[in-house]
Structure 1
Amino acid sequence: MKKFIASVVFALAASVSAMNTASAAGGHVELQDAQADIHNTSSLQRGAKYYVNYCMGCHSLNYSRYSRIATDLELTQDQVVKNLIFTRNADGEPENPGALMKNAMSQKHSAEWFGAPPPDLSLVGRSRGPDWIYSYMKAFYLDPTRPLGVNNTVFPNVGMPHVLWELQGLQEKHCTKDGDGEHAVEHCELKLVKPGSMSAIEYDQVVRDLTNFLTYVGEPAKLHRHGYGIFVLLFLALFAVLAYFLKKEYWRDVH
């Protein structure tokens, strides 16, 4: 019995430690409002394009199929084949639209190159939330102490390069302290020191499109679930009316 109690306590302690680690990884910065809208089809289409071109070299979407994305994003299979599928199957042929969205990088090689294999992002929209994704993609800054030369205020010491730096430009982190001693409060902000090919507004839209796409990928059924819910409520309302009149008919002669 003592061993059982000890194992339970150990498991709880491990869970708390894991949560604290996750909290530390997420940082203590205030997240920005992504204004995510998965019903914006144009935004989802652009997000899919940006994801395949900038993210999929490292991050697969192992729970998503090209054909499902084509249907939900109102794309033809020809458009998907020409613009989204760049990987090949075991026979050296281009993947077909029914294939899962896996990249060509092996887990072994990616672990050797990056220290750990880049995670699959199929469920990041559900696990992290759109505000986290949006804030994270805007929070990279130069840090010469890091192996890849950049760090992130939302996810400190992340092992990912800033793949969108050519679009956003490069930022530096500037911090100031208010107060003295243990009561000092540090305020940090990111300042653009090298402009990218896009303005801040244009880059915000790119990140929002990516966020919308990853939010959609995390739960594709959400696109249609609300519509189904309205249909069910209307059906129940109609059934309630019919049930009411049927009840009146059955009990008409009962006094």
Structure 2
Amino acid sequence: MKKLFFAFLLAAAPLMGFASGGGVHLDDADIDLSDEASLQRGAKYFVNYCLSCHSAKFQRYNRMARDLGLTEEEVKQNLMFTTDKIGNTMTIAMPQEQAEAWFGTAPPDLSVIARARGVDWLYTYFRSFYVDESRPFGVNNIVFPDVGMPHVLWELQGPQKAVFRTEQDAAGNETHVFDKFEQIAPGKLSPGEYDDVARDLTAFLSYVGEPIQMKRKSMGIWVLLFIAAFFGLAYMLKKEYWKDVH
């Protein structure tokens, strides 16, 4: 049993290290996938700010309509480009060659980014852009150093700068450690309102990564209840079969 436990810890260690975001503190996303209004707002932000560069090629518009409590007509009017069809996946028109020329690399598809990075990482990422004139687009990101994209939500959040402190290790080596953000100029939204935008966008990407996850979790509860009830019946049956042996 001990060997099995230690084997599990060794297998999980790389995942825990990856989820930590390279030592950067990740804020709790606190998303609610049962909140259809939040998912609808997240879909709107994704289409308006992300879909011009980032696709979600495993997500279909009509599936999104059904899952988020929208009609197909509402999706057509508010969440689709005029050239798209309701049965299409959320792809982009930008050629990969042009994307590589503009950004240095083609922007990744975001269908499973929430599953790959984790919702806390995404939520923190959306809130961690800061002004850095040395970067091509004038911004950097605490959780994704040297990020190769602009801060597309900067008008909502407003520009902010990162404050670093100097720490010294036992050998006398100095390192710059992130301390806090300071707002340079206000955005269109208050900090709390922008956090809600980041949370809604994170929730939508979490949904896109696994649209059936709410049903899966609900079904899992019933499966566990069935197993618990069946275990009781199986145990009583076992006692009945073996009563004369023991």
Shorter chain as denominator, the TM-score bin is 0.7 to 0.9
Secondary structure of the 1:186 match is strand
How far does residue 177 in structure 1 lie from its aligned partner after superposition?
Answer: 2.2
Q: Which residue of 2 aligns with 1:170?
A: 159
Does structure 1 retain, via aligned residues, the 8 Å contact 2:51–2:92?
Answer: yes
Secondary structure of the 1:172 match is strand
Name the Cα RMSD after superposition.
2.9
How far does residue 41 in structure 1 lie from its aligned partner after superposition?
Answer: 1.2
Q: Which moved more, 1:232-241 or 1:46-55?
A: 232-241
**Identity across the alignment (%):** 53
2:179 is aligned, of 188, 193, 199, to: 188
Secondary structure of the 2:48 match is helix
Does structure 1 retain, via aligned residues, the 8 Å contact 2:162–2:178?
Answer: no
Q: Where does structure 2 lack aligned partners over 5 or more consecutive residues?
A: 1-13
How far does residue 105 in structure 1 lie from its aligned partner after superposition?
Answer: 1.2
In 1, Cα distance between equivalents of 2:69 and 2:98:
35
Does structure 2 retain, via aligned residues, the 8 Å contact 1:27–1:153?
Answer: no
1:127 is aligned, of 116, 132, 148, to: 116
Q: Which residue of 2 aligns with 1:8?
A: none
Aligned length: 227
Does structure 2 retain, via aligned residues, the 8 Å contact 1:148–1:160?
Answer: yes
- Quick one: which amino acid aligns to residue 52 of structure 2? G
Q: Which residue of 2 aligns with 1:108?
A: 97
Q: Which residue of 1 aligns with 2:139?
A: 150
Structure of higher CA gyration radius: 1
CA deviation map 1:3-35 (0-9, x unaligned): xxxxxxxxxxxxxxxx9xx97xx5432111111
CA deviation map 1:194-235 (0-9, x unaligned): 110000000000000000011111111112101222333445
1:214 is aligned, of 167, 191, 205, to: 205
Secondary structure of the 1:175 match is strand
Does structure 2 retain, via aligned residues, the 8 Å contact 1:27–1:156?
Answer: no
Structure 2 residue 76 is the aligned partner of structure 1 residue 81:
yes
In 2, Cα distance between equivalents of 1:109 and 1:183:
41
Secondary structure of the 1:126 match is helix
In 2, Cα distance between equivalents of 1:145 and 1:248:
74
Moved over 4 A (4+): 234-251
- Quick one: which amino acid aligns to residue 223 of structure 1? M
Q: Which moved more, 1:128-137 or 1:229-238?
A: 229-238
Secondary structure of the 1:144 match is coil
Q: Where does structure 1 lack aligned partners over 5 or more consecutive residues?
A: 1-18, 89-94
How far does residue 113 in structure 1 lie from its aligned partner after superposition?
Answer: 1.2
- Quick one: which amino acid aligns to residue 69 of structure 1? M
CA deviation map 1:129-157 (0-9, x unaligned): 00110111111111111111111111011
CA deviation map 1:141-186 (0-9, x unaligned): 1111111111111101111100000000001122222558326663
- Quick one: which amino acid aligns to residue 182 of structure 1? N
In 1, Cα distance between equivalents of 2:230 and 2:22:
50
Structure 2 residue 74 is the aligned partner of structure 1 residue 59:
no
Q: Which residue of 2 aligns with 1:5?
A: none
Structure 2 residue 27 is the aligned partner of structure 1 residue 32:
yes
In 1, Cα distance between equivalents of 2:121 and 2:35:
19
In 2, Cα distance between equivalents of 1:187 and 1:108:
35
When residues 243 and 153 of structure 1 are mapped into structure 2, their CA distance, relative to the original with a 3 A threshold, is closer
Does structure 1 retain, via aligned residues, the 8 Å contact 2:132–2:140?
Answer: yes
In 2, Cα distance between equivalents of 1:184 and 1:118:
31
